[in-house]
Amino acid sequence: MTAATKDPLAFAVIYLWIGFVCAISFMEAWLKFRAPGVNLQIGLGIGRLIFNALNKVEWVFAIALMISLFNSKDTIYAPSNLFFYLPLVLLIIQTIWLLTALDTRAQMHIDGKVVPPSNLHLYYVGIEIIKTIFLFIYSIKFLK
């Protein structure tokens, strides 16, 4: 038995987005530092590249979902759309503030500067968890 969806493309985009976030934020981010020969500077350099690329891919997914939402028969003010709007707002926060701050800190580490302790990584992980949960809940609306 297969599940039918109201909008297969939006449904697929949501799970691609969830998959990218889970694979990169919850697996790649810490595994790269366990690879032989990867020191802090190399790991941070790889991380900067990967997380900036992930952010761009997330924007593609978000725009695809926005297009789907605007083309749907559903009103954009439907309460169920909150489960898309919150991840969108969190993505904006990540793009404008959090990734910029983390990128600056990573560059300081790479340059050998002393970097004070920070909770920015915890904020990032928390945002990723919330985005993943809300996107999953949003996906339920597409099931028939």
Q: What is the mean pLDDT of the chain?
A: 93
Instruction: For residue 5, give the 3-state DSSP assignment.
Output: strand
Q: Which residues are registered as beta bridge partners of 5?
A: 143
In a domain, 2, yes or no: no
In a domain, 93, yes or no: yes
Q: How confident is the model at residue 6 (pLDDT cuts 50, 70, 90)?
A: confident
- Candidates 143, 136, 140, 142; CA nearest to 16 is 136
> Could you give the count of Cα atoms lying within 13 Å of 6 in the half-sphere of its Cβ?
13
Total domain count, the chain: 1
Give residue 1's pLDDT. 45
Number of other CB atoms surrounding residue 79 within 10 Å: 7
Does the global pTM surpass 0.75?
yes
Q: Which tens digit of pLDDT belongs to each residue from 66-92?
A: 999 988 877 788 888 999 999 999 999
In a domain, 1, yes or no: no
Query: 20: domain range?
Result: 8-140
Lowest mean pLDDT among 10-14, 49-53, 65-69, 70-74: 70-74
**pLDDT over 80 (residue 52):** yes
Instruction: For residue 60, give the 3-state DSSP assignment.
Output: helix
Q: Which tens digit of pLDDT belongs to each residue from 81-121?
A: 999 999 999 999 999 999 999 999 999 999 999 999 999 99
Q: What angle do CA 19, 65, 57 make, to 5 degrees?
A: 50
User: Over pLDDT 90: what percentage of the chain?
Assistant: 82
Measured between alpha carbons, how far is 63 from 38 in angstroms, rounded to an integer? 35
Ranges of H-type helices in the chain: 8-23, 29-31, 40-71, 82-93, 99-110, 120-140
